[in-house]
Structure 1
C-alpha cells in the first residue's frame, strides 16, 4: 500500500509540470508582444454619422484608431457597384480589411499593389496611412449584388478588420 501514494504523487507531478510550463509560456508570450495588445471588444469607443454623401465612422481603443470617411455604395450605369470610402489608420499597428459584406452578400476585395496590397490577411492599411477605396489607383470593394440595390436608400455593410474587428454601418446608395 505504500507504493500507491508514491505513484499518485508522481502522476500529479507529471500533470502539474506541463500545466505550469504552459501557463508560463502563455504569460511570457503576452508580455513579449511588443506592447501591442487587443482590448476586449466591448471596451472600444465608436461614433457614426450618415449624410447625403456617405457614412463617417470612427473607432478607438488600445492599438486601434480607425476612421471610415464618406462610405457609400456607388451604382454604375452598367449595373456594377462598388463601396467607396476612405479608411484612415491612425493607430500604432498595421491593419487589414479582410472581409466586406453588403446586405449579407460578400464583396470582392481588390488591392492596390503600390500602396494597399491584397494578401491572405486582406487589404493592407499601414499605420499612419489612408486607403482610398474606389479612387484611381486605390484598392476596391466590388459588390456582387449591385443590380439588386436602389439609389436613394441605405444598405447594411459589414467590414471585418484584422485588429479593429467587425464594424457594422449603414451606408447610402448613390448613383455615379
Structure 2
C-alpha cells in the first residue's frame, strides 16, 4: 500500500553511514544516541520508582499530567517573564520532535512555507514535508570557529506563505 503523503519523504543518508560503521566499538554512535554510557544512578532510581506507580502507566491525560504542565509553565515563566496557562497553553509530548510535528500540524496548511536553518536535523525536514508544508532553507555560515545565521538570506526567504521559522543548532544533536 502506498500513501501519497509519504511520496515526498526521502530516507535518511545517515542509515547508510550507520550501516558502514557496523558494530565497531571505536565508534561512538550519536545518530540514535546509542552509547555505552549509563544514565546517572539517581535518574535510574527515580525512573524505576515511577514505573511502579499506577498513574504513570496510562495514556491519560492526553496532554500530560496537570502537575507536570504547571511545573513547565512555572519554569517557562521564570525563564521568559511571560505567564502560561498550564491547562490551555502547555502540552507534554513524547519528545521534542513529536512536539515540533504537533506544532507544525497546528500552524501550517499544505503549501505553507517553513523556514529551516541549514545545516539542520534531517528529521525536521521530513516532518515539515509530512505536514504538507514546504521547507525553505536559510544557511548558517561559518565565521572563524562560529556559525552565524545569514540574516540577509533569512529576510529574503520570508514570504506571505511563511508560517514557521525553525532555528536549529548546527551542532545538533551533540550540541558541541
Range class of TM-score, shorter chain:
under 0.3
Quick check: which one's helix share is greater?
Answer: 2
Larger Rg: 1
Which structure has more RCO (C-alpha within 8 Å, separation ≥ 6)?
Answer: 1
Q: Give the TM-score normalised by the residue count of structure 1.
A: 0.24
Q: Give the TM-score normalised by the residue count of structure 2.
A: 0.24
Quick check: which one's strand share is greater?
Answer: 1
